[in-house]
A and B are shown apart, each in its own frame.
Chain A
Amino acid sequence: MTTVSQDPPKAVTRRLGRGSASHKAKLDWTGWKFIGPFMLIFAFVLVAPVVYSIYLSFFKDQLVGGNSFVGFANYVQVLGDSKFWESLGRVSIFLVVQVPIMLLLALFAALAIDSARLHFPAFFRIGIFLPYAVPAVVATLMWGFMYGVRFGLVANINDFFGISLPDPLSNEWVLASIGNIVTWEFVGYNMLLFYAALRVIPTDLYEAAELDGANHLRIIRNIKLPALRPAIVIGTIFSIIGSFQLFNEPNILKPLAKNTIVTSFTPNMYAYNLSFSGQQYNYAATIAIVMGVATAVIALVVQNRGSRKEV
């Protein structure tokens, strides 16, 4: 989340710098007036909370003994906390499996709609995008009911075909079931991201390619995919952030699967439960910061690698 939002101020300073080079003395404040309101809100809703969380993470407030400064002790504790690593491992598996599946599906859908070979492309576009318009909470509840092995869709399928599907909310399957929900929710969004990138490719490139005798696959490989690279990088970064911040879906499914979705199922759930049911605000803040840094680093790496290849 930090990577995404830190871009604007950087861009702003660059622009300001250029301005002051040409008209030396008086111009400086004009730019600030424009971005002032944004900076204020930005400072209030983002910088201040982050700074405050960092401040919190250096303290330890106990039910017995009160508040005390502990330096980096919380960070040391996080690094040795098996529950934290387990939850991080879980979202990492989620990331490695779910994100490629989702992005490939989205890519396929975008290419198909862009290919001009579909009837009613608008119908497909909206149809695939629609789940994104369903709030995550509602979507999860809906899927939660479908996953029910006694009264849900799974139960109906079992009854109808006389089979016995595994319980989607059992220990082995629950992560995949959550992945399914997230994929359902976000394929459309990523598809739209890719589709928008495809639409800005100049059509004369296709004409030229056809004149040179390129077939459709060739056009996809040599024109469309390279043009899509920035969009894919963006989609990947957002998905990484989304995976690491996984919270809504497991937290809402928890009442239906309380023995398989533990309170430390994902890092965010762990931090949430530590602070709101365990009153360990300081430790929760530390986890949030460690996760924020980890996410930022991985997102940066992906961004750098992605854009390097582009050149």
Chain B
Amino acid sequence: MKIRSTRRLRRGAAALTGVLALGLALSACSSAGTSAETGNADDIAKALDTETTITVWAWAPAVEQIAKDFEKEHPKITVKVVNAGTGNDQYVKLQNAIKAGSGAPDVAQIEYYALPQFALSDSLVDLKGFGFDSFADKYTDSTWNSVSLNNGIYALPQDSGPMALFYNKAVFDQYGIAVPTTWDEYVAAAKQLHAADPTKYITNDTGDAGFTTSMIWQAGGQPYKTEKSTDVSINLQDAGSKKFADTWSELVEGGLVSPISSWSDEWYKGLGDGSIATLTIGAWMPGNLESGVAQASGNWRVAPMPTWEKGQAASAENGGGGDAILKQSKNKLAAAGFLQYMNEGEGTQTSIAKGGFPSTVADLNNDSFLNYESPYFGGQKINQVLVQSSKDVVKGWQYLPFQVYSNSIFNDTVGKSYADKSDLNTGLEAWQKATADYGNEQGFTVKSGN
């Protein structure tokens, strides 16, 4: 009996001490770094010639190698790369360290959707102070737009995820289905495929906040608006959001999407055996297919994302992110030097070599990149499709300054629609309400609806 009670106790105590630790740190005065938040190239060069250790939190596979190369070039700098978790796991730790006033890294990888949360809460350094705003022309419009917030530049883009339609050509050929170019054709293809073979689905979807927001983005929706950093409006029933939800509901209600969660073992299996026939996803996907679904080599192809109006190309970003410098950093100049090396200098090549889809215009238009014939995709020049998509990204999209939390409750709300196979609009409304409640709770002025 002791055993159980101590186990429970320990669990409770651990949770409480966690809260305690956080709280203590919260009350401790945040000892601001003494290092400069501005500086020109000379200052950065000087900082890189001083014994310094900088810490980088990142999960992108290329960062380890980039750090090693950087250390070779700047022997006085030690770069400690820490994988503090992927995506949300890392943001939770980062947010806690920021709250605690210490423990945050110098540089952190942050996806575009999460960037406003950190930038607007004044946790990141405005890179304009280092003159990085002059890099604007080096990056694609959509990625640069994602890091330009509140008249500042809060990260340098590392990769991007312009969306495309990845489809299993073998399956499409087998059932004589044409590759859809519009979402109406896509729905028709979904029906045709599932009718021909009930074990096969056009795609999988169990409700994914990132996918949903990207789809709304492509449909021209602009559900999130932030002004003066605290005035927020949310309308997940604007024309674009509705357009997406109406069409996608048809697939969900009709049981035409496979109820398998992305990135699960079943998912990889389904992508391999043809039971999941397409993915509408970011341009970083090819590397994942090659490594995770090797058995389907030669079956997959890439096509432009289906559109809402026939012949009117449009796409959106899905995933991708950049790296930012934390306000807490005590070595901001050295961090800026590393950041520049990683995302503007030589590091970009390492990143591309490791499968990252570039955000730098020069690399996107590079001939050898464009004309690369991917053996996995049957020799298709996939980058031509993907690069075109990066040019077709719909302009004007914004994420919420509390998108990370909002996405974490997506499945509490929209998930219900998926679970009941019912209208997604109802779920989106619930999501909007829960998100708005949270925003108000956190001191934002949130206008919900139109």
| Least distance between A30 CB and chain B CB atoms (Å) | 26
Are A258 and B1 interface neighbours, CB within 8 A?
Answer: no
| A92 on the B face (CB < 8 A) | no
Partner of B19, one of A4, A186, A285: A285
Are B404 and A277 interface neighbours, CB within 8 A?
Answer: yes
A 258-311 contacts with B by CB, 8 A: 258-260, 262-264, 268, 271-273, 275-281, 284-285, 288
Are A45 and B88 interface neighbours, CB within 8 A?
Answer: no
| B227 on the A face (CB < 8 A) | no
| A171 on the B face (CB < 8 A) | yes
| B23 on the A face (CB < 8 A) | yes
Across the interface, which residues of A come within 8 angstroms of B438, CB to CB? 278
Given A151-B266, A245-B12, the answer on whether A260 and B419 have CB atoms closer than 8 Å is yes
Question: How big is chain A's contact interface, by range?
Answer: 35 or more
| Least distance between A281 CB and chain B CB atoms (Å) | 6
Most chain A CB inside 10 Å of its own CB: which residue of B4, B12, B23, B408 = B12
| A61 on the B face (CB < 8 A) | yes
Are A277 and B443 interface neighbours, CB within 8 A?
Answer: no
| A116 on the B face (CB < 8 A) | no
| B11 on the A face (CB < 8 A) | yes
| A32 on the B face (CB < 8 A) | no
| Least distance between B1 CB and chain A CB atoms (Å) | 5
Binds A, one of B136-144, B177-185, B410-418: B410-418
Are A258 and B22 interface neighbours, CB within 8 A?
Answer: no
| B304 on the A face (CB < 8 A) | no
Question: How big is chain B's contact interface, by range?
Answer: 35 or more
Nearest residue (CB) in B for A68 is: B443
B 383-405 contacts with A by CB, 8 A: 401-402, 404-405
Across the interface, which residues of B come within 8 angstroms of A45, CB to CB? 13, 17
Partner of B121, one of A46, A56, A63, A273: A63
Are B4 and A262 interface neighbours, CB within 8 A?
Answer: no
Partner of A263, one of B95, B409, B419: B409
Are B412 and A63 interface neighbours, CB within 8 A?
Answer: no
Partner of B230, one of A64, A241, A272: A64
Across the interface, which residues of B come within 8 angstroms of A273, CB to CB? 408
Partner of B443, one of A50, A65, A255: A65
Are B22 and A238 interface neighbours, CB within 8 A?
Answer: no
| A62 on the B face (CB < 8 A) | yes
Partner of A259, one of B24, B121, B206: B206
| A5 on the B face (CB < 8 A) | yes
Given A48-B20, A56-B19, the answer on whether A280 and B4 have CB atoms closer than 8 Å is no
Are A1 and B9 interface neighbours, CB within 8 A?
Answer: yes
Count of A-B residue pairs with CB < 8 Å: 127
Are B419 and A170 interface neighbours, CB within 8 A?
Answer: yes
| B16 on the A face (CB < 8 A) | yes
> CA A275 – CA B12 in complex, angstroms?
15
Partner of A288, one of B1, B15, B420: B15
Across the interface, which residues of B come within 8 angstroms of A260, CB to CB? 415, 419
Across the interface, which residues of A come within 8 angstroms of B416, CB to CB? 259
| Least distance between A232 CB and chain B CB atoms (Å) | 12
| Least distance between B263 CB and chain A CB atoms (Å) | 10
Across the interface, which residues of A come within 8 angstroms of B419, CB to CB? 170-171, 259-260
Partner of B260, one of A150, A170, A262, A284: A150
> CA A70 – CA B268 in complex, angstroms?
50
Are B15 and A272 interface neighbours, CB within 8 A?
Answer: yes
A 146-179 contacts with B by CB, 8 A: 150-151, 170-171
Contact with B along A173-190 (1 / 0, CB 8 A): 000000000000010010
> CA A193 – CA B95 in complex, angstroms?
44
Partner of B408, one of A67, A170, A241, A263: A263
Partner of A49, one of B17, B96, B404, B411: B17
> CA A280 – CA B404 in complex, angstroms?
14
Across the interface, which residues of B come within 8 angstroms of A234, CB to CB? 1
Are B443 and A64 interface neighbours, CB within 8 A?
Answer: yes
> CA A127 – CA B24 in complex, angstroms?
46
Are B12 and A277 interface neighbours, CB within 8 A?
Answer: no
Are B8 and A1 interface neighbours, CB within 8 A?
Answer: yes
| Least distance between A200 CB and chain B CB atoms (Å) | 14
Across the interface, which residues of A come within 8 angstroms of B207, CB to CB? 258-259
A 47-99 contacts with B by CB, 8 A: 48-50, 52-53, 55-56, 61-65, 67
Contact with A along B410-450 (1 / 0, CB 8 A): 01100110111000000000000000001001111000000
Are A242 and B442 interface neighbours, CB within 8 A?
Answer: no
| Least distance between B266 CB and chain A CB atoms (Å) | 6
Across the interface, which residues of B come within 8 angstroms of A53, CB to CB? 16, 19-20
Residue numbers of A with Cβ under 8 A of B are: 1, 4-5, 45-46, 48-50, 52-53, 55-56, 61-65, 67, 150-151, 170-171, 186, 189, 193, 234-235, 238, 241-242, 245, 247, 255-256, 258-260, 262-264, 268, 271-273, 275-281, 284-285, 288
A and B contact pairs by CB, cutoff 8 A, 17 listed = A1-B5, A1-B9, A45-B13, A52-B20, A62-B443, A63-B121, A63-B401, A63-B402, A63-B443, A186-B4, A247-B11, A258-B206, A260-B419, A271-B15, A277-B408, A280-B441, A281-B99
Cβ-closest 8 pairs across A and B? A259-B415, A64-B443, A49-B16, A62-B443, A65-B443, A262-B412, A259-B419, A63-B442
| Known A1-B5, A150-B266, A255-B261; 7 more pairs at CB < 8 Å | A49-B13, A238-B8, A242-B4, A256-B261, A262-B411, A275-B19, A280-B441
